[in-house]
A and B are shown apart, each in its own frame.
Chain A
Amino acid sequence: MSALNLSPNEWQAFRLSLDVAARSVIFSLPVAIAVAWVLARRRFLGRTFVDVFVHLPLVLPPVVVGYFLLLLFGIRGPIGGWLKHTFDMQLVFTTAGAALATAVMSFPLVVRAIRLSIENIDPGLDEAARTLGARTMDRFFSLTLPLMAPGILVGAVVAFSASLGEFGAVITFASSIPGETQTLPLALYAALQIPNGEAAAARLAALSVGLGLAGLLTSEWIARALRRRLGR
């Protein structure tokens, strides 16, 4: 990092980005596993609706997603108001809020990756496990989860990388507060707004490119290693 000569502010934006991305993955992963499993394995009324709804952030302008999050999670919003009232917890203008916004934006990517890996599992294996005495939860942890692992890991890495770059939803919902919600892309944008900010912007851009590349390479490497292990 010293090679890049990062200023304390830029360094802060970098650490904050990692923090937001990590929280975002931790929030979205359990929900994404559940949703992916339901979409891959269950047939129910309204399945198409759920499928479309999950994919909505992919096609909506991120600002629109941020706007809806404000409506729902704002202090006067139905969920935000309840959180504030019950737990004295506020999401707007906070790091947790930035994590929520990036989680929603990257959610479809995680669900897609996990769902693909579930659809690759032969349902016959589940039957075999049943005849060998494994009950429902036992089968999920001893069979389905390990076989989903490639999808979960790839999904997590992709979501982490994508979260590092989320701009529109974060700035709309959580604003751009240095040290609180100003992640790398937001800091980069802010640097471009001030005179003589070009050098800082270039450093932040280089950092973003590096992180993105590292994320993609990691995900590819994990996917390959796991596929080899499962013999696919």
Chain B
Amino acid sequence: MLEFQASLRRGAFELDVQFAAPSPGVTALFGRSGSGKSTVVAVLAGLLGAERGRFAVKGHVLFDVAAGIHVPAEERAIACVFQDARLFPHLNVLGNLRYGLRRVRGRAAPISEREIVELLGLGPMLHRRVHELSGGEKQRVSLGRALLAQPRLLLLDEPLASLDAARREEVLPYLERLRDEVRIPIVYVSHAFDEVLRLAEHVVLLEQGKVLAYGSVAQICLEPALHAIVGEGVMGSVLEGNVAEYDAAEGLATVKCGELNLRVAVAAAPRERLRIFVPAGDVVMALGEVKGVSTRNVLPVEIVRLEPLEGSVLLHLRTGGRALLARVTHSAVRELRLAEGVHCFALVKAVAAQGRRFERRAERVAGG
């Protein structure tokens, strides 16, 4: 468990942030640039002091202003991966990886060099100079260096922001493996919500130095405060459940999310845990149970709330005890008389719903 509360003032900028994060687990700090994400990271890492507040990881107090405790950055065992990797140019990859490991100073060191090299696929580059690496490779080395410092908390400060789309896709699977296999709490800072959807379990939504909302990814996806920040492309709902059945011939998985059975076009193994993202713009509303449509999911829903956006309306729906979002036009709302309490049907295409494996595996890399 990570408990963080801090407030400070820097010029005109005021930060007042409080959140708790589970351990192990990935907590995303999400917000626009200038919302205070990097300031929170600097305070977490100990590179910046808070004026008021308290911060503890698993009972270790790292600062408590009222009690006069301030553990300096170099004693905190909180490792950081920065947007610009910050590898040491005078050392090769191996020298970088070992920099933190050599300074563990008596703490337990359960994360071994061999595990990290394997986890991040660093084997072939160990003896290369860092300026010969691609952007994606640099970030992998930076991740390895941070993990080998045996941190009690890992901070990832926009690790993908300076990479192009192809390099991002190259690094993301490693971050997913890390999330699933390392038993260290991770704070992941991002301004790209698709990364948050793929990696995080909890989200702290920041705006102008304040926490607008905090909760699980599924909860945050329903927040109007989020919809004010993100583009319409990443508005949607998150459903998590286990694969009940997988039809390999059809390439169709049936995922049980509570009472809801959702059919998703994704390769999966039975009983595997999936996170499914249903983009709000891909949900079709129908007043009656329609026949003869290609949509694999026709779900009976109740409209809970209408959230007007610019040029469209976001419908908050309830089905089988789960929440679903649908984005429709104002004219559709008028013509279909969609209103709170109306019972109707939501059509979700199996190919539109994006399913990804999301589960903590038997923990190979101990840590923590």
Contact = CB atoms under 8 A, between A and B. Distances in A.
Given A130-B74, A132-B99, A135-B74, A231 B86 contact: no
A64 interface: no
Contacts of A229: 90, 129
A124 B84 contact: yes
A129 interface: yes
B16 to A, nearest CB: 24
A132 B145 contact: yes
B129 A133 contact: no
Interface string B69-111: 0001111111110101010111000000001100111000000
Interface in B136-152: 145-146, 149
A47 B46 CA distance: 28
Interface string A28-48: 000000000000000000000
Contacts of A231: 89, 129-132
Contact of A230 (B77, B79, B131): B131
A124 B132 contact: no
> Chain A interface mostly helix, strand, loop or mixed?
helix
Contacts of B78: 131
Contacts of A222: none
Contacts of A143: 88, 90
B99 A129 contact: yes
B272 to A, nearest CB: 36
A124 B100 contact: no
Contact of A146 (B75, B76, B90, B104): B90
A122 B86 contact: yes
Given A138-B103, A231-B130, A231-B132, A132 B47 contact: no
Interface residues of A, number: 22
B276 interface: no
Contacts of A134: 74, 99, 103
A127 B47 contact: yes
Nearest to B105: A133
Contacts of A147: 89-90
A183 B130 CA distance: 46
B73 A131 contact: yes
A131 B99 CA distance: 11
B74 A125 contact: no
A81 to B, nearest CB: 45
Contacts of B131: 230-232
Given A124-B82, A124-B84, A231-B130, A132 B90 contact: no
B100 A132 contact: yes
Contacts of A149: 90
Interface in B27-51: 45-47
B128 to A, nearest CB: 11
A133 B104 contact: yes
Interface string A104-134: 0000000000000000001011011111111
Nearest to B101: A132
Interface of A: 122, 124-125, 127-135, 138, 142-143, 146-147, 149, 229-232
Given A130-B46, A143-B90, A232-B89, 4 more contacts: A125-B86, A127-B82, A130-B72, A229-B129
10 contacts: A124-B84, A124-B86, A128-B80, A130-B46, A131-B79, A131-B146, A133-B77, A146-B90, A149-B90, A231-B89
